[in-house]
Amino acid sequence: MSEIKAFQGIRPVPDKVAQIASPPYDVLSSREAAEMARNNPISFLHVVKPEIDLGDDVDPYSDEVYAAGKANLQKLIDDNLMVMDERACLYLYRQIMKIHGKDHVQIGLVAGVSVEEYEKGLIKKHEFTRVVKEADRTRHVETLNAQTGPVFLTYRSVAQIDSLVDSCIVKAPVYNFVAADGIRHTFWIVDEDEKIRALIEAFAQVPCLYIADGHHRSASACTVGRKRREANANHDGTELYNHYLAVIFPHDQMMILDYNRLLFDLNGLSTDDFLSQVEEKFIVEKTEQKKPQTTHEFGMYFGDQWYRLTAKSGSFDEKDPVRSLDVAILQDNLLAPILGIGDPRTDDRIDFVGGIRGPEELERRVKAEGAVAFTVFPTPIEQLMAIADAGEVMPPKSTWFEPKLRSGMVVKPL
């Protein structure tokens, strides 16, 4: 089952939501966040990245940073710019993003999801977390006594849930605005007892949920929940810390873009030696296409020329759900053995570029600072779920989800 919980959200007043709602904390550097929030004192970036208010030299993990985040959230509440709903609600959050000339539409249910189910593996992971990032979000949640950034979850779509959602969005939304990035964000409150009950009962039939984006936020929310449970002699399971903030989308509405690779050198190889070694595991053809058209194909920009690389039969294990991923094929057959990238998470000779920036960004960066770049076919959501079901983890930087959820649309207090 998948347990969801209504909660009393703290939300912006409608005429301020476009100013308050911000990109999530982990898609902007501190410098980028400071620039974005420079002329907007009520941007939620002051809550989720409070170091931007404390100068360039501040340690982003210092006590004063978390205290500033707490103070900034409290000021939004004290100034009546964010207000708590009078009763526990569910919410619906729709995003419309234009891409390749078409509208991509996704609508998710905003709810509390179960710490216990995360601990039992019913909210499934596909990535490792880093200790430093997990500790950072844990301190943020503990200090603010609230979850300020939602976790992005998915589930295998259910027609009954789709119908329930459709029935809830016939009324006027409480928010409907276009952000600076051109994405439309629309938000409904579900406060009718019958509809809340129907959605809870429908999700109770969903076997499991999958983390799409937000592994560190999930882990930190559960760390806080576990610590508070252990410290509470009267724990009975109804406490607010037992559930954490999530937006849950059906899998057939998810959009995963490519997550591409930029290499800064050829590991000491000449041009001819590099191409010769690539040809051992890939069919190499010059092309005008900049992006692969199917799985097990790759684009390579090298020497002012695009190439199509096709993985040769037998160069990877087709039955292995992880090693047959395109990002794993590229890593195992080219980046590691030829270019010497042993651990792409820590090697400073490689960088990762989200597909939202387009192949032209790779061309620009190769010409300015790099040696070679690769475009990768987007990982299908079905592959992600299959890997999570198998209890495996994906290689780093395997997926880039768009559009990103705005932080500050609703806060879940603890």
d(CA 369, CA 270): 17
Q: Are 112 and 6 in contact (CB under 8 A)?
A: yes
- Give the angle subtended at the CA of 127 by the CAs of 91 and 152, to the nearest 5°: 10
Tokens of 64: 């004063």
Within 10 angstroms of residue 39's Cβ, the number of other Cβ atoms is: 7
Strand ranges of the sheet holding 297-302, from the earlier edge strand across to the other edge = 282-286, 305-311, 297-302, 372-376, 259-263, 350-354
The C-alpha torsion from 198 through 202 and 208 to 209, rounded to 10°, is -50
- Give the angle subtended at the CA of 336 by the CAs of 376 and 359, to the nearest 5°: 25
Q: Are 6 and 91 in contact (CB under 8 A)?
A: no
- Give the angle subtended at the CA of 77 by the CAs of 70 and 215, to the nearest 5°: 50
pLDDT at 129: 82
The C-alpha torsion from 244 through 142 and 235 to 203, rounded to 10°, is 0
Facing residues of 114 across strands?
A: 243
Domain annotation for the chain: domains and CATH numbers: 4-255+402-413 (no CATH), 259-377 (3.30.1760)
Facing residues of 147 across strands?
A: 412
Q: Are 45 and 36 in contact (CB under 8 A)?
A: yes
pLDDT at 345: 79
Exposed, middle or buried by CB within 10 Å (0-12, 13-18, 19+), for 352? Answer: middle
pLDDT at 398: 87
Exposed, middle or buried by CB within 10 Å (0-12, 13-18, 19+), for 166? Answer: exposed
d(CA 20, CA 16): 6
Which residue in 258, 256, 390 sits closest to 319, CA to CA? 390
Model pTM score: 0.89
Q: Are 224 and 231 in contact (CB under 8 A)?
A: no
What is the number of helices (H) and of strands (E) in the chain?
A: 13, 21
pLDDT at 355: 84
Which residues in the chain land under pLDDT 70? none
d(CA 150, CA 405): 8
311: left (phi over 0), alpha (psi -120 to 50) or beta: beta
